Structure formats: C-alpha cells, structure tokens
Amino acid sequence: MPLSLSRVVGDDADVLADQDFRLLLLASLISPMGASVVSPVVETLAGPYGVPPAEVALLLSAFTAPGIVCIPLSGVLADRYGRKPVLAAGLALFGLAGVALTLTTDFRVALGLRLLQGVGYTGIGPILITATGDLFSGARESAAQGVRFTAVGASLTVFPLLSGVLVAVAWWFPFALYAAALPVAAAVWLLFDESADLGGGDDDASTDDDTSGVRALLSLATRPAVAATLVGRATPGFLWFAFLTYNSIVVVRLLGGTPGAAGALVAVASVTSAVATTQTGRITARFGRTAPTFASLVVGAVGLAGLALAPSVPAALLAGVPVGAGFSVALTLYRSAITGLASDDLRGGLVSLGESVGRVGSTGAPVAMGAVVTLLTDSLGYAGAVRGVSLAVAVGVVVVGGALLVVGDHGADDGREAGATASDD
C-alpha cells in the first residue's frame, strides 16, 4: 500500500485490496460526470441547439429531475434484487443515453436523453454508497467511503477540464466522454461478487412491514424539525447548481474567457470541495453542526456572489474556492444531520427522502434562474440579469437556509425522539 495513501486514510487503507471495492471506485469516477461534463459548455452549446444559454441550462435540470422520484425506487430495487444489477443497468443507461447526445442537435431530443441519463444515475450514486456499506463496517467503512469520495473528486477535477478543451474541437466531443460508463458497466456485471442475501421472504409479511414502515417514515418526516432539515438539504444543491449553470456563461460570455477556463473553474471548485469535506469531522467535534452548516452556506454564497461580480477570469477562478468549500461542507453536515434523526430501521428511508428533496434544489436552480434571467433581460440587459439573479440566489440561500437551520436545531431533540418512537409503532 502506498505510504501516502496510508497517511491520508490510516490503517484501513487496505480496503483497496478488495476487488469489489475497486470496481465501485471505477463506478465512482463515472457518477459525477452527469453535471460536470455539461456545466463548462452550456454557453457553447447554445449555437448547435439554436436556443439561448438559459434554455441550454435545462440540460442540467433534465438530468437531476428523475432523482426526485427514482432515487427511493432504486433503493427498493437494490434491496430486493441486489446491488449489481441495479448498478450495472444504471451505468449502461447513463452511458448509452450520454453517447446518444452526440447524434442530435434537436434540443427536445437532447432533453429527453438527459432525462434518461438522470434515470440511469439513480442506479449509480446512491447504490455506490450502499454497496460500500455492504462491503465494510466500522472504521473500515468510513475509510472506504473516504477513498471513494477521493475518486469522485478526481473525476470532478479531470472531466470538466476535458470537456472544456474538447468542445473547442467539436460541440459534440464532450458527450463522447460518457462512453467511459459502458466498459465500467460490463466490468461490474461480470466481476462484481454480490453474496448478500437480498429480497425474498414471505410476500404478505413483507407487504405489511412495508406499509408500516411507510407510515412510520411519513410520521417522522412531517415533524417540524425533521421537515425543516429535509427541506434545508435542498439549499446547498440549489447553490451548487446555480454555480454549475452560470459559470460558463459568466466566464465565456460576460468575461470573454474560453470553455477551457470555465472547465478550470469547475475543477477549482471541485478540488476545494474534496479537500474541505475531509475537515468536517474536526469542525463538528469542535463547533457542533448548526453553526458550521450556516457558516458553510455563507461561504458558498460569498463565492457565488464573487463569481457574479467577477471583473476578470482569474477573479472568477478564485470565486470557485469558497463555492466548492461551502457547498461540500454544508451538504456533508446536512446528510449527517438527517442520518442522526432516524432509528436504524427508518434511516435508509429518511436518507433516500433527503436525497430526493436535495434533487428538488438541484433541479429547481437552472429552471428558476433561467426564467427570472429571461424576465429581467429587457430591463437590465443579459449581463445585468445574470449577475443580479446570481446575487439574489446567494442572499436567498443564506436567509432561507439560516431560517430552516433555526427551526431544525430548535426541535432536533424532539425529532430524534420522534424517530425512535415511530420505529416502535
């Protein structure tokens, strides 16, 4: 085991010796490509598709929208039929739909293909987290999730840069990167050894348990503190996708930069995101959860405002640092908070619900911002509308996120007690 990895991960760095985990790492390189390949080229794609950049940004919303409904469904399917078939099918659909984007300039067809890609993703990201938990436990599981996040960070660094460079050759070249998912899907299907005993059992008993579990989950999720935390989970996603939607528009159209520079901006934010997340344990141990979550939302909002007001490409690149740090820490802390609000038998359902709500924020950012930018362009001009709407989002994330944190923190103990009580009903 390389010495450097042992220093970062610790004594459990030997998780890489597990072949199944190495396959999950390969899939983890694919999982963030859905947004990272498209984000740097939004401005450039306006020409081939014949629509304004604000409409091209719907390619991001079309990708995230299926997760609102399908993430919980993919978890049910993975529990019943196994992780391998869901993961392999998700990778295959993600790759095929992505490669098919190279074949059309019809924007409506492209949106449909992105919806299919989004469906495929729901069989990738959530399943990778679950499958890693199947393979390891305790400290080894934490180490494995950390190594997996490093793979995600590497992907988020490399693919935006590649996308920004390739689009200068031909508009469709970035979409060819999605072909990487296909050999990974084949490797998972052929080599992943899933021995867990999933599904089965008495159907009637299972149905009764499912019904009871749904009632308990709904009872828990409607508690004010829990509901506020679930809704708050959407705020870092809204911030991040506001950044992903408009970074290339600001860099290329407003500042006269290149798609490659826009890709570099996403890479800067992604590297910062990966580094910042490694410190969340230390932060919460010293300051708790609520204050650091609010502080991270403020940091991310400052970064988004800095991008909106950037006078040059280097200044825009610098703004990627607080955006990435604020987003990743806030997201991690929200996920940790949601995990702690439920008992063991409700945790999976509540986490899936939280991820679905998070997708609402990711999906809503490009749609809402595009609509307001279009509305304000006549009065403010396009540049003024983009900058003004981005600033409004930055302020809104802080105000709304802060209010939800107050509600969630005020009733956090009641929420945890409700989770335990609901699981006993």
Contact, 304 vs 393, CB < 8 A? Answer: yes
Find the range with the poorest average confidence among 74-88, 126-140, 155-169, 260-274. 126-140
Contact, 40 vs 100, CB < 8 A? Answer: no
Same domain, 180 and 224: no
Token duo for residue 253:
């159209």
* Ranges of H-type helices in 101-199: 107-121, 125-135, 138-166, 173-176, 181-191
30 domain residue, yes or no: yes
Give me the pLDDT at residue 6, please. Answer: 46
Q: Residue 363: which H helix or E strand, with range?
A: helix 344-410
238 domain residue, yes or no: yes
CATH at residue 383: 1.20.1250.20
Give me the pLDDT at residue 313, please. Answer: 95
Number of domains in the chain: 2
% of the chain exceeding 70 in pLDDT: 85
Distance of CA 134 to the CA centre of its chain: 21
Mean pLDDT within 107-119: 97
Domain that holds residue 94: 14-200
Given 158, 178, 200, which residue is the final one in a domain?
200
2 domain residue, yes or no: no
Given 148, 183, 200, which residue is the final one in a domain?
200
pLDDT(423) > 60: no
Give me the pLDDT at residue 424, please. Answer: 43
Find the range with the poorest average confidence among 279-283, 295-299, 330-334. 279-283
